[in-house]
Amino acid sequence: MPRRTGELKHLIVTESPDGELMIRFVLRSTEPVARIRKHLPTLLADLPNARVVSVNVLPEHKAVLEGEHEIVLTEQQTLAMRLNDVTMHLRPQSFFQTNTTIAAALYAEARDWITDLAPASAWDLYSGVGGFALHLAGGDPDEGPAVTGIETSVEAVASAELSRTDAALHRVRFESGDATRFALDAPADEAPDLVVVNPPRRGIGAELSGWLEASGIRHVLYSSCNAVSLAKDLAAMPSYRPVRARVFDMFPQTPHFEVMTLLERRG
């Protein structure tokens, strides 16, 4: 009979493409924090590539990986994730695509497809730490589309803002908020040329797909980790036709995959 009295629930390790590590101890309580702090110098000496070490507190016994309370123990608060020519500064608790090599290919392909379309403005809905927005914005801060990223996680928005500032991309901005609410509340004359959506497994849902269908937006780039919700969302947007699509093996050795498609308004 499990007694559930242990303190360590999970150890979450993120390795950057440069081999640097973010190590997160998911604990039942803050009781071991003083001990981890005490042994931190030894841990850092044994793992010279460790850059960020934190404790995440998850008191409840439930089927989630992490809780809301995070205590960063190192001076460095973010892990630099260098993908293609974009550096993203990842804070603990921010979503990052599961497979970094494939994520780099995904963002590069998105940029490739979009460059030809040369949109003046774009929204990156469900922007996370800003992978799509930062790639679409391009290397020159004065060129490329004006991009607005919308994301519910405050930590992810803070990560994205840091990366944007670091790259001096003044035509990119990130806001914390609900993607559907943002679209529904936007003045009609502020609709962009392109909308990128990269939602969680549930997809974008009836409200946002209905809004896109009724909008005059010319292109939608939809990156999905669940082909079932993607198909449902696409069925609700018959005014768009897929002009490009590619499957990415984001979750090797599982039945899951990422699929990205570029949709173009008919007519």
* Min CB(75)–ligand SAM separation in Å: 26
Angle between helices 227-235 and 205-214 (to 10 degrees): 40
**Which span sits near ligand SAM by CB under 6 A: 1-9, 62-70, 147-155, 235-243?**
147-155
**Which span sits near ligand SAM by CB under 6 A: 28-36, 49-57, 72-80, 145-153?**
145-153
φ, ψ at 266 (rounded to 5°): -70, 150
Binding track, positions 165-204, relative to ligand SAM; x by CB under 6 A = -------------xx------------------xxx----
- Close Cβ partners of 190 (under 8 Å, ≥ 6 residues apart): none
Considering the rule CB under 6 A, would residue 123 count as an interface residue with ligand SAM? no
Catalytic one among 50, 225, 250, 262?
225
Cβ 37 vs Cβ 45: under 8 Å? no
* Min CB(88)–ligand SAM separation in Å: 9
Please, which of residues 82-111 interact with ligand SAM by CB under 6 A?
95-97
Q: Annotated catalytic, 225?
A: yes
Please, which of residues 14-43 interact with ligand SAM by CB under 6 A?
none
Alpha-carbon distances of 191 from 91, 100, 199, 203, 253, rounded to whole Å: 30, 31, 19, 21, 40
- From the number of C-beta atoms within 10 Å of its C-beta (0-12, 13-18, 19+), residue 131 rates as buried
Cβ 147 vs Cβ 133: under 8 Å? yes
Asked if residue 68 belongs to a known ligand binding site, the reply is no
Asked if residue 76 belongs to a known ligand binding site, the reply is no
Q: SS3 for 263?
A: strand
Asked if residue 20 belongs to a known ligand binding site, the reply is no
**Residues of this chain that bind ligand SAM (CB under 6 A):** 95-97, 126-129, 131-132, 150-153, 156, 178-179, 198-200
